[in-house]
Amino acid sequence: GAVVSQHPSWVICKSGTSVKIECRSLDFQATTMFWYRQFPKQSLMLMATSNEGSKATYEQGVEKDKFLINHASLTLSTLTVTSAHPEDSSFYICSARNQPNTEAFFGQGTRLTVV
């Protein structure tokens, strides 16, 4: 299957700082990317959907000013967690899709710990 790569795999940051997570589709053009977060022993929760060159669509309850999503090219999307706090500590996962109604491929995830 196609490859989606996230970087970094894990990050520890201090409370109040910002962290950027990259999501790259390595062998296909991702017209749509999804960002999820997952707390321990819970399912994935969709945060936002982004189409290349457009503003992201955020799910209800997700603060768009706190979780900045940029999808500037067909192979790269970034999620920036601004002014991170300990409650933002979570597993963040991106997913990318080339065409509608086809499989979306997932990155390996980024574990964020805010101290």
Partner 1 sequence: DAKTTQPPSMDCAEGRAANLPCNHSTISGNEYVYWYRQIHSQGPQYIIHGLKNNETNEMASLIITEDRKSSTLILPHATLRDTAVYYCIVSYGSGNTGKLIFGQGTTLQVKP
By CB under 8 A, name the binding residues for partner 1: 1, 4, 6, 31-32, 34, 36, 43-46, 49, 51, 57, 91, 93, 95, 97, 99-109, 111
CB nearer partner 1, residue 19 or residue 109:
109
CB of 13 to partner 1, least distance (A): 19
Contact call for residues 6 and 75 (beta carbons, < 8 A): no
Tokens of 76: 């790269």
CB nearer partner 1, residue 13 or residue 104:
104
CB of 78 to partner 1, least distance (A): 17
Q: How far is CA 67 from CA 3, 21, 73, in A?
A: 24, 11, 19
Quick check: helix, strand or coil at residue 47?
Answer: strand
